[in-house]
Amino acid sequence: MPDPREIVLRDVDPQLTSLVRGLGDRQDQPGRTIIGISGSPGSGKSTLAAAVAAALGEAAVYLPMDGYHLADVELRRQGLLGRKGAPETFDAYGYARLLRDIRAETEHTIYAPNFERTIEQPLAGAIAILPEHRIVVTEGNYLLVDAAEWGAVRRQLDEVWHVLADQAVRAERLVARHILFGKTPEAAASWIARVDDPNAVLIESRREWADRILDLSQWTLNREG
């Protein structure tokens, strides 16, 4: 039977082979290892994070940042609903506190929120970080952004891997995602131009601060990125 780590790596940057194996070697070390994966909308970061956690088996858990989206009611109060997904529409300090607690508390289960795409809202208590989870693979757009709240997040991460994808590939993925969750093709294109692409400019301006850069342009995705 093939090593599940090799399955994850098919058609992906070959750097990933040694990176995933290196993570597997950390599972017997004291404490927890928290790896962050950053990237622009549609780059494949969530697909990669989930795949890496799955390859590492029962010792690892996948934790998306999207559970810290502010709810629509709060975005509406702040006048930010039309910018949902921008850095200021997340509870970054709350996310940083969760990561700090995950690092410090290793004997009891910690519950984390997730983001439910079918209703486009965060969902509390949806992810269990169990004591046996020695490696946490988290992902989000803004892990490298130079702002106090995102700096608080970065300090809780042992490493950040940044994923790249060709602009045309990302656009195709984003249009398909927005249509899947209810937008018309016209509305999807408008949202990408008005929200996703400006966010991508900010995200990519910080990629040189990553510990590793991986190109996923040629990877066939089965999930949103």
pLDDT at 51: 85
pLDDT at 18: 67
Helix, strand or coil, per DSSP, at residue 198: helix
Asked if the structure places residue 224 within a domain, the reply is no
Could you give the angle at the alpha carbon of 183 between the alpha carbons of 139 and 214, nearest 5°? 25
pLDDT at 223: 40
pLDDT in tens, 119-136: 889 999 999 999 999 999
Cα 66–chain centre separation: 7
Helix, strand or coil, per DSSP, at residue 72: helix
Question: What is this structure's pTM?
Answer: 0.85
pLDDT at 3: 39
Asked if the structure places residue 221 within a domain, the reply is no
Helix, strand or coil, per DSSP, at residue 85: coil
Best CA proximity match to 131, nearest among 110, 101, 114: 110
Rounded Cα distance, 129 and 120, in Å: 23
Query: Domain with 205 in it: what CATH number?
Result: 3.40.50.300
Asked if the structure places residue 223 within a domain, the reply is no
Asked if the structure places residue 220 within a domain, the reply is no
Could you give the angle at the alpha carbon of 62 between the alpha carbons of 56 and 68, nearest 5°? 165
Rounded Cα distance, 22 and 16, in Å: 10
pLDDT at 7: 39
Asked if the structure places residue 222 within a domain, the reply is no
Helix, strand or coil, per DSSP, at residue 60: strand
Asked if the structure places residue 225 within a domain, the reply is no
Best CA proximity match to 46, nearest among 173, 133, 175, 135: 173
The domain tally of the chain equals 1
Question: Which residues on adjacent β-strands are paired with residue 156?
Answer: none
pLDDT at 124: 95
pLDDT at 219: 59
Domain range enclosing 45: 4-215
pLDDT tens for the chain, 225 residues: list them.
333 334 345 555 556 666 777 777 677 777 899 999 999 988 888 888 988 888 888 999 999 999 999 999 999 999 999 899 999 999 999 999 999 999 999 999 999 999 998 888 999 999 999 999 999 999 999 999 999 999 999 999 999 999 988 888 888 888 888 888 788 888 888 888 888 889 999 999 999 999 988 887 665 544 444
Helices 15-26 and 45-56, axial angle in degrees (round to 10)? 50
Asked if the structure places residue 87 within a domain, the reply is yes
Euclidean distance between the first and final Cα of the chain, in Å?
Answer: 29
Q: Where are the alpha helices (DSSP H) in the chain?
A: 4-9, 15-26, 45-56, 72-78, 92-104, 148-154, 167-180, 185-191, 197-204
Asked if the structure places residue 16 within a domain, the reply is yes
Ramachandran bin of 135, using left for φ above 0, alpha for ψ from -120 to 50, beta for the remaining angles: beta
